[in-house]
Amino acid sequence: MEKKVLAFIEEQKLVPKDKPIICAVSGGVDSVCLLHLFHSLGYPIVLAHVNHHKRKESDLEEQEMKQLAHTLQIPFELFSFYDDSQDNFQAKAHEARYEFFKSLAKKYKTSWIATAHHLDDQAETILMRLLNGSNLYGYGGISIQKKEDDFIFIRPFLCVSKEEIYQYAQKHQIRYFEDASNQSDDYLRNRIRHHILPLLKSETDSYLEKLQEFSIILKQSFDFIRKQSINYLDKQNNNIDVPSFIGLDEALQLDILCLLFERYQIEKNHTILKNCLLLVQENQNKTIHLKGEFFFCVEYGKAFIQRKKNFTSFEVYLSLENQVQILNRYCFYFSKKIPQNNAKYLKLCYNDLKLPFCIRNKKEGDSIHMSYGNKKVSRIMIDAKLPTNKRNETPLIFDGNQTLLWIYDIAKSKAAFEQKKTGDIYLVCEELL
């Protein structure tokens, strides 16, 4: 098995030999054999053990792993994870373990973290994903190597079966622990292991290798599509341009949506993604409520995810002597000189100023007098294709007579236009963001 794994490491270019490897060791046969094999091949390794304190054997396993590290003369690192709640323990423990491994990688100035997933794990994972539903990447099961930020998770045993690992342990007289819960049919993974995999083996002895080939093909296909998805969302600044999106292949459309959800760290499933895809294809101004405070929106040819914002009402007053800031975004003031930066402004007549000016967000019934007559502010915002979430944030500027002069950056009143040629003072707005 040593030659097989070494050839796999070299073929996949999993890890250089001059960098430490953080080796995740639970005490089971898989991870202990992985540690032994790395040690026999001369790789610098760190034994990383997590005690979940869920079984009476946990403390004994911790002591054994500490002694194993001492025997092999390698560093031993321990993380004690305590969580007495019954709420999603497996997910919490998984996240805590991987954060621990990453912290060790930083400590030992390395990028490589090794776990002992093997071909049987791969088969079980693929079948679980097929039963529970996933995307193209998920259906591919466990990656041979996966980069997360500055860390690279490697699985050197994804070329060998559980049976081969047991044979290796017996040959080298390796001591390990068996988790009794692995024998229970309470878990889907165990039921697949005990009942479905034996049926596959009865059909062909090479079923593990065939499923691994399936995994590799799916991962390669996913990598090709994902590169295009990343390029698309990067160019669109995490928005979807509906006209260009509609022309893409549906497989790419779904992965773009999937990546968008991942960037916002929002839970997703195939049904949610298909509903969002249908909304984009219809290209109507509608919204889907996602998990928590997030919404998927299609507005005016753009699709995007946004977090629900609490409505913030503002009403401030501006005179010649002061300046006002709104929402930490807008700064209004009067100036006798035309702005030299990119600030927007109204040119007004000093002698006609009715002070103080009032700056507030829109209210029901607000209207502005244009050259062609009065028009509701809400209609002007709709015609300007202003996204819904920005309508309440757009400042309206009224003079002292409560005459609306300016819907900021959208529309100026007839009175404001008439002062443009004769004006001698500027109402300036600088955007702070």
Structure tokens at 86: 């019954």
Query: Residue 411 domain-assigned?
Result: yes
3-state secondary structure 305-346: EEECCCCCCCEEEECCCCCEEECCCEEEEEECCCCCCCCEEE
Shared-domain flag, residues 345 and 405: yes
Shared-domain flag, residues 14 and 95: yes
Query: Residue 138 domain-assigned?
Result: yes
Handedness of CA 133, 136, 138, 140 (dihedral sign): positive
Give me the domain span that covers residue 144.
2-215
Tell me how far apart the alpha carbons of residues 142 and 155 are, in angstroms, rounded to a whole number: 9
Measured in degrees and rounded to the nearest 5, phi and psi for residue 285 equal -70, 90
Shared-domain flag, residues 67 and 191: yes
Tell me how far apart the alpha carbons of residues 137 and 334 are, in angstroms, rounded to a whole number: 57
The residue out of 287, 307, 327 marking a domain boundary is 307
Query: Residue 220 domain-assigned?
Result: no
What are the CA-CA distances from residue 84 to residues 88, 90, 188, 219, 375 (Å)?
Answer: 11, 12, 23, 37, 62
Q: How many domains does the chain have?
A: 3
Shared-domain flag, residues 270 and 291: yes
Shared-domain flag, residues 124 and 248: no
Average pLDDT by stretches of 10, the chain with 433 residues: 94 90 96 96 96 86 95 95 73 89 96 97 95 86 93 97 96 90 84 94 94 95 96 96 96 95 90 94 91 91 88 92 94 93 92 95 95 94 87 94 96 93 93 84
Shared-domain flag, residues 249 and 146: no
Shared-domain flag, residues 132 and 149: yes
Shared-domain flag, residues 76 and 185: yes
Shared-domain flag, residues 303 and 423: no
Shared-domain flag, residues 12 and 53: yes
Query: Residue 47 domain-assigned?
Result: yes
CATH code, domain carrying 77: 3.40.50.620
Structure tokens at 148: 């997360």
3-state secondary structure the chain: CHHHHHHHHHHHCCCCCCCCEEEECCCCHHHHHHHHHHHHCCCCEEEEEEECCCCCCHHHHHHHHHHHHHHHCCCEEEEECCCCCCCCHHHHHHHHHHHHHHHHHHHCCCCEEECCCCHHHHHHHHHHHHHHCCCHHHHCCCCCEEEECCEEEECCCCCCCHHHHHHHHHHCCCCCCCCHHHHCCCCHHHHHHHHHHHHHHHHCCCHHHHHHHHHHHHHHHHHHHHHHHHHHHHHCCCCEEHHHHHCCCHHHHHHHHHHHHHHCCCCCCHHHHHHHHHHHHHCCCEEEECCCCEEEEEECCEEEEEECCCCCCCEEEECCCCCEEECCCEEEEEECCCCCCCCEEEEECHHHCCCCEEEECCCCCCEEEECCEEEEHHHHHHHCCCCHHHHCCCCEEECCCCCEEEECCCEECHHHHHCCCCCCEEEEEEECC
CA nearest neighbour of 305 among 352, 331, 330, 272: 272
Shared-domain flag, residues 336 and 381: yes
Edge-to-edge strands, sheet with 286-289: 240-241, 302-307, 294-299, 286-289
The residue out of 307, 328, 347 marking a domain boundary is 307
CB 339 within 8 Å of CB 426: yes
Structure tokens at 253: 């459309």
Query: Residue 413 domain-assigned?
Result: yes
Query: Residue 231 domain-assigned?
Result: no
For 237, residues 6+ apart whose C-beta sits below 8 A from its C-beta are: none
pLDDT confidence of residue 94: 87
Measured in degrees and rounded to the nearest 5, phi and psi for residue 303 equal -125, 140
Paired sense of beta strands 294-299 and 330-335, if any: unpaired
Query: Residue 54 domain-assigned?
Result: yes
pLDDT confidence of residue 353: 94
- Reported as a single tens digit per residue, the pLDDT across 45-81 is 999 999 988 788 889 999 999 999 999 999 999 999 8
CB 75 within 8 Å of CB 40: no
CATH code, domain carrying 289: 3.30.465.60
Shared-domain flag, residues 207 and 343: no
The residue out of 280, 307, 334 marking a domain boundary is 307
Query: Residue 222 domain-assigned?
Result: no
What are the CA-CA distances from residue 154 to residues 13, 21, 112, 114 (Å)?
Answer: 10, 10, 7, 5
Tell me how far apart the alpha carbons of residues 222 and 92 are, in angstroms, rounded to a whole number: 27
Neighbours of 17 (CB within 10 A): 10
Residue bearing tokens 């083996």:
201
